[in-house]
Amino acid sequence: MCGRYGFSVKDIRKVYQRFEIVNELADYAPRYNIAPGQMNPVITKNSPKRIQRMFWGLIPYWAKDRSVSFHTINARGEEIDKKPSFKKAFQSQRCLIPATGFFEWKKNIDPHVPYYIKLKNEAMFAFAGLYDKWVDPISKKELLSYTIITTGANDILKPIHPRMPVVLKREDEETWIEPDFVTSEKLLSLLKSYSPSEMEIYPVSREINKTRLDNETLINPVEKPPEQKSLL
C-alpha cells in the first residue's frame, strides 16, 4: 500500500516543465510528509494538462458521505476495472500524482521501522491514480478526490511490504492520462512494479509517524534502525 509520500520539489517551475503543465498552482510549498485526508497536487488531462489540488482518499460520485475515503486512499490495480468504487474512474478519470518519494513501514518488528523509497536517477516521478468528483448532499459543494493505485512489491520492497504504489515509467505517463483511444488491456499493462535496480531505499526517523511534522529532516537516512524485537 501507500499511506504516506512526499512531493518536495522546491521550484514549482520545474514541475510545470517536467509534466508540461499549462496552468499554475497557487500557494505551492514543498511537502515531505503527505498524509491521507489532505489536499495535494494532481495532474489530469482535460485538454491540455492541468495541475490542481485534490483530496487524498477517493470519494465515489455515488457515495452518501466522505467516510468511504478512509478505505480508498489506495486502489489495487488488479481490481480497478471491476470494483464499483473505481470502475467508472478507471474508464475516464485517470490521473498522475506527482511525487519525489514514498514511505513504507517494516511491521514484523517492534517498533515498526519506516523506510523512504525514491528513484535513483529521477528527481520526481508520478504515481498512477484515479480521481472522482463528489457533491456534498448538504452543502452542494463539489470535492475532487483521488486514490493511488498499488501493485505487487518488487524485490527491493518485498522484505518491507508485499505491495507498492504504481510508479509509472516516464514514457507511459501520457498514455495513462490519455482520455480516448486507449484500451483497458493497454492501461492495465502499465500497472506493474517499478524496476528495483532503479530505486533506492533506506530507513528514516520514526518522526515521520507524526503527521503534524513536515520538514526535510524526515527524509534523511538514519545511521541504523532503532533496537528491534521480532514479532514473528
Q: What is the pLDDT of residue 219?
A: 97
Where are the domains positioned within the chain? Answer: 5-208
The more confidently predicted of residues 46 and 158 is: 158
Rounded CA gap, 207 and 205, in Å?
5
pLDDT of residue 232: 44
- Distance, CA of 153 to CA of 10 (rounded, Å): 29
Please give the pLDDT value at position 47: 82
CATH of domain 5-208: 3.90.1680.10
- Spell out the residues 6+ positions from residue 174 whose beta carbon is closer than 8 angstroms to its own: none
Distances (CA, A) of 17 to 20, 32, 109, 171: 5, 21, 42, 15
Query: How much is the pLDDT for 231?
Result: 47
Q: Does residue 34 have a pLDDT over 90?
A: yes
Mean pLDDT of the chain: 93
In this prediction the pTM is: 0.94
Among candidates 32, 12, 20, 68, which has minimal Cα distance to 219? Answer: 32
Residue 227 has pLDDT above 60, yes or no: no
pLDDT of residue 108: 73
| Alpha helix ranges (H) inside 20-130 | 87-92
Report the share of the chain in percent with pLDDT over 90: 86
For residue 130, what pLDDT is reported?
Answer: 97
Tens of pLDDT, residues 195-219? 999 999 999 999 999 999 999 999 9
By the 8 A CB rule, do 221 and 131 touch? no
Residues with Cβ < 8 Å from 205, sequence gap 6 or more?
A: 114, 217, 218, 220, 222
What pLDDT shows up at residue 119? Answer: 98
Residues paired with residue 163 on neighbouring β-strands, in sequence order = 152
186 has pLDDT over 60: yes
Structure confidence at residue 1 as a pLDDT band (50, 70, 90): confident
Which residues are annotated as catalytic? 2, 104
